[in-house]
Amino acid sequence: MATVTVDTAPIERLKETWEGKGGLWGWLTTVDHKKIGKLYLATSVVFLLIGGVEAGIMRAQLAWSNLRILSPGVYDQLFSLHGMTMIFWYASPILSGFSNYIWPLLIGSRDMAYPRANALSYWLFLMSGVFLYTSPFLGQAPNAGWFAYVPFTLKPFNPGLNMDFYALGLLFLTVSATVGSIVFIGTIMKMRATGMTLTRLPIFMYGTMTASFANLFALPALTTALVFLYFERTFHMPFYAVGGGGRPLLWQHLFWMFAHPWVYIIVLPAMGIVSEVIPVFSRRPLVGYPIVAMSTVATGIIGFGVWLHHMFATGLPNLSLAFFSGASTLIVIPSGIAVFSWIATMWTGRPVFKTAMLFAAGFVALFVLGGVSGVVTAMVAYDWQVTDSYFVVAHLHYVLIGINVFGVMTGFYYWFPKMTGRLLNETLGKLNFWVMFIGVNVAFFPMHITGILGMERRIYTYPAGLGWSVPNLITTIGAYIFAAGFFLFLVNVWYSLRAGEVAGPNPWDAGTLEWSVPSPAPAYNFAVLPTVRSGYPLWEGRLLRRGRPPAAAPSPALARTPDAVGARAPDMAPDGSLVFRGPLLLDGKETFATSPLDAEPMSVLRMPEDSLLPLLLSLFMLAFFYGAVFKLWWLVAAGAGAMLLTIVAWTWPRSMEGGSVA
Partner 1 sequence: MSTTAAHAAVLPIGNRFRRSPGWWAMVWIIATEAALFAYLLFSYYYLASQFRGPWPPDGFESFTLSAPMTAILFASSGVMWWAERGIKKGNQMQLRIGLLITFLMGLAFAILEGIEWSQKSFTPASHAYGALFFTVTGFHLTHVTVGLTMNLVVQIWAWMGTFTEERHLAVTNAALYWHFVDTVWAFVFFSFYIAPRIG
Q: Which stretch binds partner 1 (CB under 8 A): 43-51, 162-170, 214-222, 276-284?
A: 214-222
**Is residue 436 a contact partner of residue 482, using CB atoms and an 8 Å limit?**
yes
Q: Does 656 bind partner 1 (CB under 8 A)?
A: yes
The bridge status of strand 590-594 relative to strand 601-606 is antiparallel
- x-marked contacts with partner 1 along 428-467 as a string, rule CB under 8 A: ----------------------------------------
Strands (E), 329-393: none
Residue 528, classified by CB atoms within 10 Å of its CB into exposed (0-12), middle (13-18) or buried (19+), is buried
Neighbours of 350 (CB within 10 A): 9
Q: How far is the CB of 251 from partner 1 (least distance, A)?
A: 10
Size of the site for partner 1 (CB under 8 A): 65
| CA dist., res. 436 & res. 406, Å (int) | 9
| CA dist., res. 283 & res. 618, Å (int) | 44
| CA dist., res. 181 & res. 300, Å (int) | 14
Q: How far is the CB of 183 from partner 1 (least distance, A)?
A: 9
Q: Does 651 bind partner 1 (CB under 8 A)?
A: yes
DSSP symbols for 158-204: --SSHHHHHHHHHHHHHHHHHHHHHHHHHHHHH-PPBT--GGGS-HH
| CA dist., res. 211 & res. 92, Å (int) | 10
Q: Which stretch binds partner 1 (CB under 8 A): 102-110, 213-221, 264-272, 502-510?
A: 213-221
Q: Which one of 604, 619, 635, 638 is in contact with partner 1 (CB under 8 A)? A: 604
- x-marked contacts with partner 1 along 279-298 as a string, rule CB under 8 A: --------------------
Which CB, 95 or 558, lies closer to partner 1? 558
Q: How far is the CB of 607 from partner 1 (least distance, A)?
A: 10
Q: Which one of 5, 22, 24, 235 is in contact with partner 1 (CB under 8 A)? A: 235
Which CB, 317 or 653, lies closer to partner 1? 653
| CA dist., res. 499 & res. 423, Å (int) | 9
Q: Which amino acid is at 356?
A: A
Which CB, 372 or 647, lies closer to partner 1? 647
| CA dist., res. 357 & res. 406, Å (int) | 11
Within positions 540 to 599, which residues make up the interface with partner 1, using CB under 8 A?
560-563, 583-587, 590, 592-593, 596
Within positions 177 to 196, which residues make up the interface with partner 1, using CB under 8 A?
178, 181-182, 185-186, 189-191
The bridge status of strand 654-656 relative to strand 601-606 is unpaired
**Is residue 572 a contact partner of residue 579, using CB atoms and an 8 Å limit?**
yes
Within positions 618 to 647, which residues make up the interface with partner 1, using CB under 8 A?
644
| 26 phi, psi to nearest 5 deg | -60, -40
Which CB, 38 or 260, lies closer to partner 1? 260
Q: How far is the CB of 115 from partner 1 (least distance, A)?
A: 11
Q: Does 377 bind partner 1 (CB under 8 A)?
A: no
Q: Does 605 bind partner 1 (CB under 8 A)?
A: yes
Q: Which one of 156, 245, 315, 465 is in contact with partner 1 (CB under 8 A)? A: 245
Q: Which stretch binds partner 1 (CB under 8 A): 36-44, 49-57, 226-234, 365-373?
A: 226-234
Q: Which one of 223, 329, 385, 461 is in contact with partner 1 (CB under 8 A)? A: 223
CA 570 to chain centre: 35
Q: How far is the CB of 566 from partner 1 (least distance, A)?
A: 13
| CA dist., res. 18 & res. 109, Å (int) | 13
User: What DSSP state is assigned to residue 493?
Assistant: H
Q: Which of 555, 617, 562 lies closest to 196, judged by CA?
A: 555
Neighbours of 22 (CB within 10 A): 8
Q: Which one of 155, 247, 430, 548 is in contact with partner 1 (CB under 8 A)? A: 247
Q: How far is the CB of 178 from partner 1 (least distance, A)?
A: 6
**3-state SS string for 391-433:** HHHHHHHHHHHHHHHHHHHHHHHHHHHHHHCECCCHHHHHHHH
Within positions 98 to 117, which residues make up the interface with partner 1, using CB under 8 A?
113-114, 117
The SS3 call for residue 230 is: helix
**Is residue 524 a contact partner of residue 588, using CB atoms and an 8 Å limit?**
no
Q: Does 332 bind partner 1 (CB under 8 A)?
A: no
Chain positions contacting partner 1, by CB under 8 A: 113-114, 117, 178, 181-182, 185-186, 189-191, 216-217, 219-221, 223-224, 227-228, 231-232, 235-239, 244-247, 250, 253-254, 257, 560-563, 583-587, 590, 592-593, 596, 601-606, 644, 648, 651, 653, 656-662
